[in-house]
Amino acid sequence: MDNNSNLNIKEFLDKDEQKDLLRFLTAGSVDDGKSTLIGRLLFDSKKLYEDQLDALERDSKRMGNAGEHIDYALLLDGLKAEREQGITIDVAYRYFSTNNRKFIIADTPGHEQYTRNMITGGSTANAAIILVDARTGVITQTRRHTYLISLLGIKHLVLAVNKMDLVNYDKAVFDKIVADFHEFVKGLNIPDITCIPLSALEGDNVVDKSDRTPWYEGKSLLDYLETVPIDLDRNYEDFRFPVQYVLRPNLDFRGFCGKVASGVIRKGDTVMALPSRKTSKVKSIVTYDGELEEAFPPQCVTITLEDEIDISRGEMIVKPDNLPIEDRNFEAVLVWMDEEDMDVNKQFYIKQTTNTTRARIADIKFKVNVNTMERTHVEKLTLNEIGHVVFTTGKELFFDPYYTNKQTGSFILIDPITNNTSAVGMILNRVDAKDIAGNEATIISLSNLDIDASHLEAIQKVCEELKHQGIYIKAVK
């Protein structure tokens, strides 16, 4: 009996370990019912302990906002200010699992002043749920949150039309909201959109399909979350391995540790180290549990090579026939997260993959109004503002555009004085140095300076070196 029960526990734990993980965020306007929805999801899927239920019932009577019903929002709005105002301020994370999948929920705030909190909560999400109130439909906040989700490159989006109970589960109301939303997202890059009518307070279409919406033929919210395919969201084409640490425990072993950012690597594959461009073959892929034949994202491994190549932290191992962009100049979408306004004359630290270097803001192309999508020219960005910005870095970075490779296309800006994270960025593409405002080259003519033309090649080398320091001079005969 004991052996059987031990075996069953082991089988259960093994099966639990093999479940995949879905990270998703919820967003919506104030009082659209985000926290209530997640609370309901936890409650109906039987993921609350008895003491949590007792505390929830007690708190609902004392400070709830749901009348006679249990106020499920109190499960997530843990800050005193949140409970007093009935709003979400901080990003609240909740963990739960079903028989098919594990989940991490980020309940993000709806107010515009907490945009940076939403960006933080959504930076690792695979999917997003945007709630709209069935009575008000698609509003400014809905558009703002949808734009931010497209900015973060989240591929799966659920439009949850909540509070259907307050419009008597009217199909016409739902259809109009869906049509308005699809009209808005035409210009945004979100490939997978699903619309679900529900009532978080009453539990309709949250965990089980509701009899009150017989006209709705899709899945319930939990059923969707359990089955949405996320395996192919990662980039398995472009192998990128930013080196995090060089492991040298003894004379006989030298390995490069890191996390596989994208792509697949196998023993025997030919690889190239950047920036040296030296090549070698993979000798072994080592982990704590033993050697692997292949590694893929998001595994953390140690790679050993057949040849001795000088590689250190911040450099990258790639495949020679599939290289990232190497450049010091690039354009990025920047979300300003510091309470101190942007200072365009300040030198920041930029951290991209495992690489850290100095960076300066070369040009602010425009600021995007997240409510209207309107573009305006500005001198600086302030807290929660989003803009397209051109950067010049102290040394070459190895990157891909964010929308093809999130891991190598994202970065943070660090204030060198306060050490605060000043901004987060998503790289769009490289920029030619000559196209950067203020980088027009000064032309010098050797004949005008009475310098013999035979020196042109040497002077051009000097000009090339000065270009790396941000000084643009072009020498001609």
Q: Give the pLDDT of residue 405.
A: 92
Verify that 301 and 337 share a domain, yes or no: no
| 68 contacts 60 by C-beta, under 8 angstroms | no
Kindly give, in sequence order, each residue whose CB lies less than 8 Å from that of residue 242, ignoring residues fewer than 6 positions away. 258, 259, 261, 314, 315, 316, 353, 354, 355, 398, 408
Give per-residue pLDDT as tens, 367-423.
998 877 889 999 999 988 999 999 999 999 999 999 999 999 999 999 999 999 999
Q: Using CA atoms, how far apart are residues 285 and 287, in angstroms rounded to an integer? A: 7
Q: Using CA atoms, how far apart are residues 429 and 86, in angstroms rounded to an integer? A: 42
φ/ψ of 437, rounded to 5, equals -55, 130
Domain count, the chain: 4
Q: Using CA atoms, how far apart are residues 119 and 142, in angstroms rounded to an integer? A: 15
Verify that 367 and 314 share a domain, yes or no: no
Mean pLDDT of the chain: 85
Verify that 208 and 255 share a domain, yes or no: no
Q: Give the pLDDT of residue 81.
A: 45
* Virtual torsion, Cα 457, 458, 461, 462, nearest 10 deg: -140
Q: Is the Cα torsion angle 83, 205, 189, 427 positive or negative in sign?
A: positive
| 88 contacts 77 by C-beta, under 8 angstroms | yes
Give per-residue pLDDT as tens, 23-77.
998 888 766 677 778 777 777 766 666 666 677 667 766 665 555 566 666 665 5
Q: Using CA atoms, how far apart are residues 410 and 152, in angstroms rounded to an integer? A: 10
Q: Coil, helix or strand for 83?
A: helix
In 29-162, where do the E strands start and end?
92-97, 101-107, 127-133, 156-162
Q: Tokens 């425009």 map to which residue?
A: 366
Write down how long the chain is.
Answer: 477
The range of the structural domain enclosing residue 455 comes to 442-476
Verify that 406 and 449 share a domain, yes or no: no
Q: Which two tokens stand for residue 327?
A: 């450049």
**pLDDT over 70, % of the chain:** 84
Verify that 182 and 248 share a domain, yes or no: no
Q: Give the pLDDT of residue 48.
A: 66
Verify that 346 and 290 share a domain, yes or no: no
* 120 pLDDT tier (thresholds 50, 70, 90): confident
- CA proximity to 158, closest of 184, 196, 121: 196
Verify that 298 and 152 share a domain, yes or no: no
Verify that 60 and 28 share a domain, yes or no: yes
Verify that 135 and 204 share a domain, yes or no: yes
Strands 156-162, 192-197: pairing is parallel
Q: Give the pLDDT of residue 98.
A: 83
> Which H/E stretch holds residue 461?
helix 456-468
CATH of the domain at 51: 3.40.50.300
CATH of the domain at 386: 2.40.30.10
Last residue of a domain, one of 214, 231, 248: 231
Q: Give the pLDDT of residue 200.
A: 85
**At residue 179, does pLDDT exceed 60?**
yes
Last residue of a domain, one of 273, 292, 318: 318
Verify that 89 and 169 share a domain, yes or no: yes
Kindly give, in sequence order, each residue whose CB lies less than 8 Å from that of residue 335, ignoring residues fewer than 6 positions away. 115, 116, 119, 151, 384, 385, 386, 423, 424, 425
Q: Which two tokens stand for residue 179?
A: 């049509």
Verify that 107 and 221 share a domain, yes or no: yes
Give per-residue pLDDT as tens, 267-309.
999 999 999 999 999 999 999 989 999 999 989 999 999 999 9
* 80 pLDDT tier (thresholds 50, 70, 90): very low
**At residue 461, does pLDDT exceed 90?**
no
Q: Using CA atoms, how far apart are residues 334 and 473, in angstroms rounded to an integer? A: 30
Long-range contacts from 443-447, C-beta under 8 angstroms, 24+ separation: 443/473, 443/474, 443/475, 443/476, 444/473, 444/474, 444/475, 444/476, 445/476, 445/477, 446/475, 446/476, 446/477, 447/477
Q: Give the pLDDT of residue 135.
A: 92
Q: Using CA atoms, how far apart are residues 240 and 253, in angstroms rounded to an integer? A: 23
Give per-residue pLDDT as tens, 148-166.
899 999 999 999 999 999 9
- DSSP H stretches of helix in 2-100: 2-18, 34-44, 50-63, 80-85
Give per-residue pLDDT as tens, 231-280.
878 889 999 999 999 999 988 899 999 999 999 999 999 999 999 999 99
